[in-house]
């Protein structure tokens, strides 16, 4: 499947896509059996809700296969029969919540990034709906759907697609007396997610959809990373075809070898530590919030624009135009430049002339954050091509010509075209020419290996066969699109009826995993969302979302698994008493965030004191 932002109300406001482009995408995706999931996953005010409902109908008409939503107020509205997916922004962190979402007719739930494979058995116990999990891309340091720092400080809500990226900013870390412990570091900037090594374990523990974060990324990243995980999953399917199969059709040919570290990456983490236990201290990249790329080797000499380095891997090739990042051994200083000239010195040593002067001591680690040669290759239209294998049959009778075609991986999708015309006996065998004509499928998404001919000694005019082949392929494309839409409507109607049935009855909050009262962190932003919470058994106060009304007093603006006390080496679970005064503060200019820790839950909270 492909997921993409709606024109409005997506969690990446800058990544909205027009209805026309979404309609084009769905047509092309459906021709190869792939689905398109559209993100409509912000919280909505009472004024915005009618527009969001209207947009949902437009997206349904454009052929979208599902809507990814955050605001549960939509469930109380009259929506089209389109499957709904619960965004990770819903903070799907408990078994009771997942069971409730399933009862509400949610087809697929996107798990929080902070959940590990060890947490899956208890989280998914008794859950029958499809489960999606992120496997690659940028990591939010905050618990999913629970980041309010951008809204509280700048009026730019992460829950409304306008995050100001506070977790990627640099900070000073001070103790309670104002003493600086760290200066100018990206102390909340997590490494990028890469779960290559645990994909099979995730599948075995109930995950059925693997999600690659890619909105606002360029084509080189999308093509490279998607191809990498396609190979990983295909290898698992090849070994275990009795258990797993692909959910769409076709095979992709590549002109490159996918390597995720060679396009945008902030170094990698599997982020697979069980909840309520400390994550590794090296989970952040404190020296930069930008792409680090692949590690090349060690700086051996630095003279301004002239540097020398020794490669880790002797097979690595450098080229003019590569981008380098140099990081000091203590990871406190960085420098970067493009490569203008490469001179091999032998034994894995290179002398490079750079585009700008750098000041870095020998011993620094050298990363390549732009692979110029690979980047050019990935941007070519033919870097990857996907084709669906079809069968084709050409039959000649005295009454005319019949062409038939079917999708090999979905044989029930079959079409035929006919042309009534008188055919004459062939003077010589036309098979070779006809096979060539029938196999010319050009830029269509299909390929045929060996069309079957039943000529009965008759002559078929090549021009007529060409016309029929074009008509046949167009009918096949339309048949594929029709099958996908009919299947979507069938699923959507069933799920909508399930939701109506569940909402026709009142439920207890204990059953639904909800507390007696809801504070602002539950993101209730409209009356319909409040109505749903009441239907689910909440009887106490329901506070409005921060975007509707700012809470008074000190506000918890971010909760994270990443803990700065642990980062400094003073985790209280290890009984180490810190030699500085608590609480700690993250400071950036005039902004100051107090830090508290819940060591039993292994959670850090940032507070905005006002």
Give pLDDT, residue 135.
98
Q: Is the pTM of this model over 0.85?
A: yes
Query: What pLDDT was estimated at residue 488?
Result: 98
pLDDT, averaged across the chain = 96
Strand locations in 314-399 (E): 323-327, 334-346, 349-358, 365-370, 384-397
Average pLDDT over residues 530-535: 97
Expressed in percent and rounded to 5, the helix, strand and coil fractions of the chain are 30, 30, 40
DSSP for residue 199 = H
Q: What is the mean pLDDT of residues 149-176?
A: 95
What pLDDT shows up at residue 12?
Answer: 85
| pLDDT value at residue 258 | 97
Query: Does the pLDDT of residue 398 top 90, yes or no?
Result: no
Q: Taking each helix axis from N to C terminus, what angle separates 19-30 and 49-61, rounded to the nearest 10 degrees? A: 40
Per-residue pLDDT at 609: 96
pLDDT, residue 202, reads 98
pLDDT category at 263 given cuts 50, 70, 90 is very high
- Cis upstream peptide for 583 (omega within 30°): yes
Residues 6+ apart with CB under 8 A from 459: 423, 424, 425, 426, 427, 430
What is the arithmetic mean of pLDDT over 386-410? 96
> What pLDDT is stored for residue 313 in this prediction?
93
Q: Quick one: pLDDT at residue 214?
A: 87
For 150-156, which contacts have Cβ atoms below 8 Å and span 24 or more sequence positions?
Answer: 151/546, 151/547, 152/546, 152/550, 152/555, 152/557, 152/608, 153/557, 153/591, 153/608
Q: Average of pLDDT values for 318-325?
A: 97
The answer on pLDDT for 481 being more than 90 is yes
- Integer Cα distance of 556 and 544 in angstroms: 15
pLDDT at 221: 97
Q: What is the mean pLDDT of residues 360-380?
A: 97
Percentage of the chain beyond pLDDT 90 is: 95
Res. 575 pLDDT band, cuts 50 70 90: confident
299-316 per-position pLDDT tens digit: 999 999 999 999 999 999
Question: Where does the pLDDT of residue 89 fall: very low under 50, low under 70, confident under 90, or very high at 90 and above?
Answer: very high
At 584-609, the pLDDT tens digits run: 999 999 999 999 999 999 999 999 99
The pLDDT-based confidence of 176 (bands split at 50, 70, 90) is very high
pLDDT confidence bin for 13, thresholds 50/70/90: confident
List Cα–Cα distances, 546 to 100, 519, 551, 553, in angstroms: 24, 10, 7, 13
3-state secondary structure of 131: strand
Q: For 94-107, what is the mean pLDDT?
A: 97
Secondary structure (DSSP) of 14-60: GGB--HHHHHHHHHHHHTTT--EEEEE-S---TTTHHHHHHHHHHHH
How many residues are recorded in the chain? 610
pLDDT of the residue at 516: 97
Residue range 321-340: mean pLDDT, rounded: 96
Per-residue confidence at 16, pLDDT binned at 50, 70, 90? Answer: confident
| Span 21-56, pLDDT tens digits | 999 999 999 999 999 999 999 999 999 999 999 999
pLDDT at 122 (0 to 100): 97
Here the tokens at position 164 are 């100001």
Residue 220 CA to residue 258 CA, distance in Å, equals: 10
Stretch 427-441: mean pLDDT: 94
Rounded mean pLDDT, 192-196: 98
Overall average pLDDT of the 62-90 stretch = 97
Instruction: Calculate mean pLDDT across residues 546-575.
Output: 94
In order of start, what are the domains of the chain with their CATH numbers?
Answer: 268-370 (2.40.10.170), 387-486 (no CATH)
The pLDDT of residue 513 is 94
């Amino acid at each position: 499947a492909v997921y993409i932002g709606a024109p409005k109300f997506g969690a990446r406001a800058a990544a909205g896509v027009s209805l026309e482009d979404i309609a084009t995408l769905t047509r092309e995706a459906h021709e190869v059996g792939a689905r398109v999931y559209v993100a409509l996953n912000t919280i909505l005010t009472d004024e915005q809700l009618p527009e969001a409902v209207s947009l949902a109908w437009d997206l349904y008409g454009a052929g979208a296969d599902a809507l990814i939503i955050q605001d549960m107020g939509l469930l109380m509205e009259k929506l089209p029969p389109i499957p709904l997916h619960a965004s990770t922004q819903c903070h799907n962190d408990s078994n009771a919540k997942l069971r409730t979402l399933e009862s509400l007719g949610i087809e697929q739930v996107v798990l929080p990034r902070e959940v590990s494979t060890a947490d899956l058995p208890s989280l998914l116990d008794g859950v029958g709906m499809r489960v999606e999990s992120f496997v690659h891309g940028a990591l939010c340091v905050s618990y999913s759907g629970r980041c309010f720092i951008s809204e509280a400080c700048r009026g730019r809500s992460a829950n409304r697609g306008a995050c100001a990226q506070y977790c990627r900013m640099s900070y000073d870390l001070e103790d309670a007396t104002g003493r600086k412990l760290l200066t100018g570091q990206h102390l909340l900037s997590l490494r990028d997610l890469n779960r290559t090594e645990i994909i099979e374990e995730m599948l075995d523990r109930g995950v059925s959809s693997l999600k690659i974060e890619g909105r606002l990324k360029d084509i080189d990243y999308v093509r490279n990373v998607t191809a990498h995980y396609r190979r990983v999953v295909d290898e698992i399917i090849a070994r275990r075809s009795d258990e797993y199969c692909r959910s769409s059709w076709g095979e992709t040919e590549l002109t490159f070898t996918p390597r995720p570290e060679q396009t945008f990456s902030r170094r990698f983490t599997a982020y697979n530590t069980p909840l309520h236990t400390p994550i590794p201290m090296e989970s952040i990249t404190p020296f930069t919030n930008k792409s680090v790329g692949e590690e090349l080797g060690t700086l051996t000499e630095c003279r301004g624009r002239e540097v020398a380095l020794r490669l880790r891997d002797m097979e690595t090739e450098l080229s003019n135009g590569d981008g380098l990042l140099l990081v000091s051994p203590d990871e406190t200083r960085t420098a970067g430049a493009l490569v203008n000239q490469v001179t091999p010195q032998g034994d894995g040593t290179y002398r490079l002339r750079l585009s700008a002067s750098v000041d870095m001591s020998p011993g620094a680690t050298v990363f390549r954050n732009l692979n110029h040669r690979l980047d050019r290759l990935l941007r070519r239209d033919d870097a990857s091509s996907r084709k669906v294998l079809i069968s084709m049959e050409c039959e000649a009778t005295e009454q005319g010509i019949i062409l038939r075609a079917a999708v090999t991986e979905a044989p029930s999708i079959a079409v035929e075209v006919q042309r009534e015309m008188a055919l004459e006996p062939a003077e010589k065998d036309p098979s070779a020419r006809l096979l060539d004509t029938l196999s010319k499928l050009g830029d269509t998404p299909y390929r045929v290996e060996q069309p079957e001919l039943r000529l009965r000694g008759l002559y078929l005019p090549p021009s007529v066969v060409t016309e029929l082949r074009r008509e046949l392929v167009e009918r096949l494309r339309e048949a594929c699109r029709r099958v996908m839409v009919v299947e979507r409507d069938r699923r959507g109607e069933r799920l909508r009826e399930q939701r109506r049935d569940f909402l026709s009855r009142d439920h207890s909050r204990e059953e639904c995993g909800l507390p007696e009262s809801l504070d602002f962190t539950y993101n209730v932003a409209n009356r319909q969302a409040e109505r749903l919470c009441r239907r689910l058994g909440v009887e106490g106060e329901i506070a409005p979302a921060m975007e509707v009304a700012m809470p008074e007093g000190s506000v918890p603006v971010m909760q994270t698994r990443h803990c700065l006390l642990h980062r400094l080496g003073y985790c209280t679970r290890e009984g180490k008493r810190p030699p500085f005064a608590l609480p700690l503060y993250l400071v950036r200019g005039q902004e100051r965030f107090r830090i508290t820790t819940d060591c039993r839950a292994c959670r850090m909270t940032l507070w905005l004191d006002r």
